[in-house]
Amino acid sequence: MNWTGIVFAPLVPWPLVLALGAAALMCAVIGIRARARGWSWRLVASVVLVLALLNPALVEEQRDALKDIGVIVLDETPSQQNGDRLAALKTTHDAILTQAAAFKESLDLRVVRVRHKGVSDAEKGTTIFADLAHAMRDIPKRRFAGAILVTDGQIHDVPQDLGAVAGPIHTLLTGRPHEYDRRLVVQKSPLFGIVGKPLEMTLRIEDSTQSGGRARLTIQRDGGEPEIVSAPVGVDFQAPFTLEHAGATMFELSIDAAPNELSVRNNNAIISVNGVRDRLMVLLISGEPHAGERTWRNLLKSDPSVDLIHFTILRPPEKQDGTPINELSLISFPIRELFEIRIGDFDLVILDRYRRRGVLPPSYFKNVVDYINEGGALLEAVGPAYAGPFSVYRSPLGAVLPGEPTGDIHLKPFTPSVTAIGRRHPVTSGLAPKPSSNQNLGKPNWGRWFRQVDTAATRGRVIMAGLDDKPLLILDRVGKGRVAQLNSDHIWLWARGYEGGGPQAELLRRLAHWLMKEPELEENDLRAKVQGDTLEIVRRNIDGDNKSVTVQAPDGQTRTLTLTARRDGEWGVEIPAAETGLYEISDGDRTVMAASGSLNSLEFADIRATDRPMKPVTKATGGGLIWLSPDGETSPPKLRRVANDRAAHGRNWVGLVANGDYIVTGVHSISLLPAILVLLLALGGVAVAWRREGD
């Protein structure tokens, strides 16, 4: 029986009941003052009538008990994979569920597993309270029995203000107190740097027990030979380095494992530094003024990374007009400084319609050939003179030029086109639409040119064709350097917008940067990067040869992948990056690295078990904090139900609150003043009062 007490359901409004009660009380007072006989029995009759109007009743509720709801949170993040933590977690989980089964009539226990969905989640660390709040969002406070967290204590979202938490939060710690660990921390490293300039990264080796001393640090660059240095422990130190090439350089850092160390996972770090070139030096030599000369100058001047040195030969030695030297506004051509002393300082040399005019002796042309073989770049933009006897092809420079002049010059309109191999080359890929069976489709809507020097491509690759599919743009690699030859001087028509123009700005930009070895424009290339939790591999091959690639995961396991075609000359594949660390990808000719996740992430910043983050929480909520394996053997605590005004934890036990909440399914009321009783009492009081008055 669940009696809730006496309730009143007045038969008339409350003001009327109060007025009648006041009137009865006044009559009683008057009777007392007048010493009237029988006034007390009149008062009894009045009180009975007023109480009858209040309609008092005794209420009985029919109740169904509601189960309390508790939450057990299992920390299954990567830091729990150290030692026997996962085994302790499983043992504790099973023990709590077994004990909770004894309270199944009054307790529901929700299980929440905190896991990382991918390696990128390691940046956020362990976010137990976010998952706990999500699990509690539909639990009424009056039914919340408490929460039990099974974790190593490395929690990174502990709230500053817990609010009105309705139950205790217990913490059961895996691991052991005072664990020993050593870790490598990257305090500061540059995101990019200038190739060839000295740089440095700031590192720190932290040891939980050792202060001072030294440790062996291994630095490996792009998977090459490792460099071993002795590094101090417990203090910041600088590791100097120099970037050797443009593009990303991967540094893999590691320190030797110490005896009895908790984990070597945080003994490693990966740093990616993007190399950029300093100001690019370009030498432009124009043989004689012409309409297209400004096209080259404007293009190179518009690039803020290029320092341009431009010379136009206006007065060759054979030209004699009698003007005194001291009256000329021209400067002498510094051929010795440019082609002997400083030739190695230039990243690119452009000869624009240049012909042999007695300005450059053969030895200086030979210097240009040596410059190319040693890694330099040459762009030969030919003019009509290239087909004549004074062609630079008939100098030592002809040994590196890919197009041999036939002596013919074609003065007919033609539309430049991209060859089949040009569609796969990054310099011209995507400039023109793809070929189509429809003759009106697949042809570039470009303006026409009107002059082409006929050449035979003796080497290199023809990526653009002109009149009758004759070579228009030829690219070649010579020694360590690169050479490009453009067999027309009419590209300026595109710059002027003739017949709609063409993509001259993009073409020349790509051409110049390919010559200067821009990594993004390599025609045979293998690239890999990790985006989120996906490893993307892209392979580019100018010959259209699709090879499989071998991927070595951070744990050392290898797998072979077949790439799928994406566009002309490019293949790719995407796979899940399920592990944190360095992936090594190889196609047999090239090997690249890709870093997955961050070895300096919040999850691995400190993997030692600790009670520090949860001490304020357990104290504020009345929960307990217990080490599960202080001596190596896991001993799960006992589970009890406790009243909400009693302690919720003790020595090796934790309690979940028994709130006793219920839902009312029915109500039964019993009137305390039945009508017959009211009638008897009222009439009896009046009769006795009347008799007393008659005596």
Per-residue pLDDT reduced to its tens digit, 74-128: 999 988 888 889 999 999 999 999 999 999 889 999 999 999 887 777 778 899 9
Using the predicted structure, report yes or no on whether residue 437 has a pLDDT greater than 50: no
Angle at 502 between CA 497 and CA 506, to 5 degrees: 120
* Pick among 2.40.10.220, 3.30.70.20, 3.40.50.880, 3.20.20.30: CATH of 280-317+330-515: 3.40.50.880
Instruction: Kindly report the CATH number that applies to the domain delimited by 182-277.
Output: 2.60.40.10
Q: At how many degrees (to 10) do helices 39-54 and 14-34 cross?
A: 170
Using the CB atoms, write b or e for 626-640: b if 16+ within 10 Å.
bbbbeeeebebbebb
Give CA–CA dist 364/343, Å, rounded: 10
Residue 76 identity: E
Domain ranges of the chain: 2-64+664-694, 68-177+608-660, 182-277, 280-317+330-515, 525-596
DSSP class per residue in 219-232: EEETT---EEEEEE
What is this structure's pTM?
0.69
Instruction: Kindly report the CATH number that applies to the domain delimited by 68-177+608-660.
Output: 3.40.50
Per-residue pLDDT reduced to its tens digit, 460-515: 999 999 999 999 999 999 999 999 999 999 999 998 889 989 999 899 989 999 99
Give CA–CA dist 95/83, Å, rounded: 20
**533, 120 in Cβ contact below 8 A?**
yes
Whether the domain at 68-177+608-660 and the domain at 182-277 fall into the same CATH topology = no
> How many Cβ atoms sit within 10 Å of the Cβ of residue 188?
11
With respect to CATH, is domain 525-596 assigned 2.60.40.10?
Answer: yes
Using the predicted structure, report yes or no on whether residue 149 has a pLDDT greater than 80: yes
More confident residue, 673 or 267: 267
Angle at 400 between CA 398 and CA 401, to 5 degrees: 65
CB neighbour list of residue 36: distance below 8 Å, 6 or more residues apart: 30, 693
Mean pLDDT of the chain: 84
User: What mean pLDDT comes out for the span 651-658?
Assistant: 92
Give CA–CA dist 281/511, Å, rounded: 15
